[in-house]
Amino acid sequence: MLQSIEASVLLALEKIVGVDNVIVDPDRLDSYSHDEFSLRDIWHRPDVVVRPKTAEETAAVLRLADEHRIPVTPRGGATGLCGGCVPSRGGIVLSLERMNAVLEIDAKNQMAVVEAGVSLVQFEKAVDEAGFDFPPHPGEESALIGGMIATNAGGSRAVKYGVIRNYIRGLEVVTAAGDVLQLGGKLIKSSTGYNLMHLLIGSEGTLGVITKAVIQFRTKPALTRSLVIPFETLEAAIETVPVFFQRDIIPLALEFVPLDVLRISEEHLQRTWPSHLGDTHLFVVLDAVSEEEMDRLSQSLAEAALEMGALDVFIADTAAKQDNVLTIRSKIYEALKAYTVEILDVCVPRAEIPAHVKRVREIADAHGVWLPTFGHAGDGNVHTHIMKARYKDGRIVPMAEEEWRSSFDRIRDEIYADGMARRGVISGEHGIGLVKKPYLALSLPPAQIELMRGIKKAFDPHGILNPGKIFD
């Protein structure tokens, strides 16, 4: 594939999207060379950034790129954590940032029609102002809708309401050949041929460019309430989770967080978590349609937790208390970010969480490193931070680069190997992108990967769409 773009092609791009939306200035190109993955090793500057405003402009750009065999890397908000929008082969970065309109909020069908460049916070605001709710909540509110769909983003609320895939009813997609496809629509069900829409969801921009989406929303819950439940051990906390489900208590969110991680977030924010008992805390969010139902759920959950050995149950029953615990929990990544090399998102059957986290702690001890680990107790998604710092006597102590670099790959290998031994997968919500590509064969058998390659070939015969991602 080309590593530079001819002047005639640049001129053609300017005619399609306008001079101001074709970027070749090196300083501006640097901003489009990476996502949120911490290591600069994978950064790669594109030859040009193109910012279309419509599906038709996008299609024209792709037809031109396909004709000249120029790599095209679709890009949303670049909040990904595995190099999914890094233009590793150069070429064109196709930024959807200008396609940022909420086109329709359809209250009768409880569906929205939005462009791919709409941010999560913008979308949630539009839905909220219409009196509705969008259940999924991936952690980064600046993420754009197109990128969230392309990675099938998850989040802590998946335990009750599922991931992004569960809310997408229709997509407008531009193929590598420049055809504009309308997939699905304002429909709840369809058995009309292969479901190409669901192939595009989670395809990380390798099969087509998502330009528009029809998204389901729901009636807003009357109430939400947060609970903090400390346990002496991680095992005791996780063993409590199935008891909740057996008693028909399905939380909106259900996470496990070690106390040391909570203390770091507390210090970062200068706030106080409601309890410092035990080793591991369950953080639970409930939703309900009435005070009576909320009190019943809270009481049932507290009783189950105490029966299973909880040290206490703290109920955030005021807006101020709820804001406090939600803020401390949501800012953990921010508190750790400066010292994080990579965040893994291994997903295992939820009953395997204690054994997997125990193995992570053994790996940390064996390599003399700090691997803070927390995650979604309800869906088995475990987030281990591989750090370039140690945690000693309640303080973060930075490590020299040669120290953490020498063990980084082995640590990642060992954590992935344990996750796979427990019949898990290497990614529950972040995607494969560039960083996890070498590990795909750990999760999937060769026959399955070959079928995926065949699908890629059918959608993108010349291999121009986000080349080098998921597999070569």
pLDDT of residue 464: 98
**284 and 240, same structural domain?**
yes
Picking from 219, 239, 262, the residue at the C-terminal end of a domain is 219
**346 and 392, same structural domain?**
yes
What CATH number should be reported for the domain holding residue 106? 3.30.465.10
Confidence of residue 453 (pLDDT cuts 50, 70, 90): very high
pLDDT of residue 1: 42
**380 and 360, same structural domain?**
yes
The rounded distance, in Å, linking the Cα atoms of 406 and 416 is 18
* 296: CB partners within 8 A, 6+ apart: none
The rounded distance, in Å, linking the Cα atoms of 450 and 361 is 35
Q: What is the pLDDT of residues 338-347, one digit of tens each?
A: 999 999 999 9
* 42 is a domain residue: no
Average pLDDT over residues 394-419: 95
Tell me 167's DSSP state: G
Confidence of residue 323 (pLDDT cuts 50, 70, 90): very high
Q: Is 231 exposed, middle or buried (0-12, 13-18, 19+ CB in 10 A)?
A: buried
pLDDT of residue 145: 98
Confidence of residue 363 (pLDDT cuts 50, 70, 90): very high
Amino acid at 408: F
Residue 169 has pLDDT above 80, yes or no: yes
pLDDT of residue 2: 42
**319 and 234, same structural domain?**
yes
With beta carbons less than 8 A apart as the criterion, state whether 230 and 278 touch.
yes
What CATH number should be reported for the domain holding residue 387? 3.30.70.2740
Average pLDDT over residues 168-190: 97
* 227 is a domain residue: yes
* 276 is a domain residue: yes
Amino acid at 404: W
**370 and 354, same structural domain?**
yes
Pairing relation of β-strands 72-75 and 92-95? parallel
Residue 29 has pLDDT above 50, yes or no: yes
In this structure, what token pair is assigned to residue 38? 């911490």
pLDDT of residue 3: 53
* 407 is a domain residue: yes
pLDDT of residue 248: 93
Average pLDDT over residues 173-178: 98
Tell me 428's DSSP state: S
* 395 or 43: which leads in pLDDT: 43
- How many structural domains comprise the chain? 3
Picking from 329, 362, 396, the residue at the C-terminal end of a domain is 329
Average pLDDT over residues 282-310: 96
DSSP 59-115: HHHHHHHHHHT--EEEESS---SS-TT--TT-SEEEE-TT---EEEEETTTTEEEEE
Question: Structural domain of residue 398, as residue ranges?
Answer: 333-421
**213 and 261, same structural domain?**
no
**301 and 368, same structural domain?**
no
Picking from 329, 361, 393, the residue at the C-terminal end of a domain is 329
Nearest residue to 333 (alpha-carbon basis) of 172, 139, 153: 139
* 58 is a domain residue: no
Average pLDDT over residues 84-106: 98
Average pLDDT over residues 254-270: 96
* 282 is a domain residue: yes
The rounded distance, in Å, linking the Cα atoms of 129 and 376 is 29
**111 and 215, same structural domain?**
yes
The rounded distance, in Å, linking the Cα atoms of 249 and 286 is 9
The rounded distance, in Å, linking the Cα atoms of 386 and 373 is 9
Residue with token string 């199935």:
242
Q: What is the pLDDT of residues 113-154, one digit of tens each?
A: 999 999 999 999 999 999 999 999 887 889 999 999 999 999
Residue with token string 């790599």:
71
In this structure, what token pair is assigned to residue 107? 């209250």
What CATH number should be reported for the domain holding residue 262? 3.30.70.2190
